Amino acid sequence: MSLDTAAVPRPPARGTSTAPMMTGAQAVVRSLDMLGVTDVFGLPGGAIMPVYDPLMDDDAVRHILVRHEQGAGHAAEGYAAASGRTGVAIATSGPGATNLVTAIADAYMDSVPIVCITGQVFSHLMGTDAFQEADIVGITMPITKHSFLVKSAEEIPGAIAAAFEVASTGRPGPVLVDITKDAQQASAPFVWPPKIDLPGYRPVTKAHGKQIQAAAQLIAQAKKPVLYVGGGVVRARAAAELRVFAEATGAPVVTTLMARGAFPDSHAQNLGMPGMHGTVPAVLALQESDLIVALGARFDDRVTGKADEFAPNAQVVHVDIDPAEISKIRTADVPIVGDLKEVLVDLDAAFQSARADHAPDIAEWWSYLDGLRAEFPLGYSEPEDGLLAPQYVIKRIGELTGPEAVYAAGVGQHQMWAAQFIQYERPNAWLNSGGAGTMGYSVPAAMGAKVAEPDRVVWAIDGDGCFQMTNQELATCVLNDIPIKVAIINNSSLGMVRQWQTLFFSGRHSHTDLNTGHGTVRVPDFVKLAEAYGCLGIRVEKAEEVDAAITLALETNDRPVVIDFVVSADAMVWPMVPQGVSNSFVQYARQHAPTFDGED
């Protein structure tokens, strides 16, 4: 991705007029204006207070006051993930800045372009353990693409412009700009566009032609190819190019948790999601392939299982914008560094030429995979305790809402069910915390997505555990007219931990009961909590009530809606490949068919 400056107003060219004098704080706000930023999420405090004064007078930038800085970070993530535009979060020094750390780490793992602007104590006080001092640059250095420390007003425009350039180009990610209070208060000429000095930062976008040709030859000759599609396709905005290339090759496609929607679920070539909770056809297609074409994917442990036994007979073509990812876990036979939007076009052209000499024959491969699809359809069993099946609830949310909505999930069982049972037909429709697995992501991310895409329906699909970590942002939503829909999949427990305890700890459910939804005591009562925030609160305990509640939520757009779906605590996420186990489990799957097809 590149910084889109087409709509950014430009001042007179450098040298044609006298640069206006302004404080560093004013320069922060003016820089955001010049970069086309329209929305920011933040919470003021002493060290960032100078910036908040000119921000109050700026009509171009909408500031959304959050209730917790972590909410600001996740909202910036949701904003970016739903729209492709860089999200912005603002916080003060010390605890304000450290409260952003979880969201920054989350954005780093999932390649989300956000810029975090933090205040810092006066430069002469740095290193003295001053009030609310924290070395946020040092703290975030391992989890950002870059962290800037700004100590003078003159540096501010350049630092902020560079931050947006770094966040949004190459492999996207978070960038921190930490600005001392004296730099905010001092005055300097505001020069725009500033000179951006990023020595050594030269993202490669155009792939080497010989590597493209070598990859095309392998694809044309493969008998069991698989396109292993990762979140990089979404970040590169390359879904259209992927579809053209996939249809040209005829190869099966698997879309990782971060890539759901990059290739339509309804497409005949889509085998679904691979990995620990992936579909049997997707998992075995990778495991038994003779060629894996990895597109913006990183061979993470949740996909590969036991890495040294993953796809033992497959050659690998690995395409990524980040050279550090290639051959990090699985050695690539053909490494390709480049922007997927461009690489896929080049690969398609090279493949068209290669198949003229060697027409691929993968009919037998497809016959085998179609057999797996018929034998192991994705399904679920009805709970024996009479409570709602969470899979049914989530499936109906997707069916009644449709593919044009945005679905943001928390982390845990509900996340996996949302990835499995909602049909995703377009990129940027599915938001979740994939790499970091951050509980509390859903509500603020949905809030950010709704700000970025106000004409779309936005659902936060959350668990009762996750929801209690960031539900205070419902106040932000109410006060700022951000009418998200929240579906709490309330199993009264930390569901995924409980599932593992059931399977691997002899059913000893140690400290996973939350007491939120079963019996006479509800702590808290989510309907009352929703109403206290000014939301519409609904409770659903019977299957016949599900559709009516979802429909009412879809019809309510004057405030947020929270639906407390009371579901069975015994429901589990299937399929499941246990951590550290090889993906070679055909025999295991066949012996445990009820686990995979939902039959009794």
Determine the residue type at 195. Answer: K
Are the C-beta atoms of residues 450 and 483 closer than 8 Å to each other?
yes
Q: What is the DSSP letter of 362?
A: -
Residues with a known catalytic role: 69, 131-132, 181, 496
CA distance 573 to 576: 7
Candidates 382, 423, 396, 388; CA nearest to 594 is: 382
**Residues in contact with 25: Cβ distance below 8 Å, sequence separation at least 6, in sequence order:** 50, 51, 53, 54, 184, 185
In this structure, the number of other CB atoms found within 10 A of the CB of residue 251 comes to 23
**Under DSSP, is residue 337 helix (H, G, I), strand (E, B) or coil?**
strand
Burial environment of residue 524 by CB neighbours within 10 A (0 to 12, 13 to 18, 19 or more): middle
| Tokens matching residue 590 | 């066949």
* DSSP states along 228-275: EE-THHHHTT-HHHHHHHHHHHT--EEE-GGGTTSS-TTSTTEEE--S
Half-sphere exposure of 470 (CA within 13 A, CB side): 33
CA atoms in the 13 A half-sphere facing the CB of 135? 8
On the CB side of 252, CA atoms within 13 Å amount to 32
Contacts of 565 (CB under 8 A, 6+ apart): 388, 390, 393, 487, 488, 489, 490, 540, 546, 549
In whole angstroms, what is the distance from residue 83 CA to residue 10 CA?
24
Q: Is the peptide bond before 193 cis (omega within 30 degrees of 0)?
A: yes
**Backbone phi and psi for residue 273, each to the nearest 5 degrees, phi listed first:** -90, 135
How far out from the chain centre does Cα 223 lie? 33
Phi/psi-derived region of residue 237, left when phi > 0, alpha when psi is between -120 and 50, beta in every other case = left
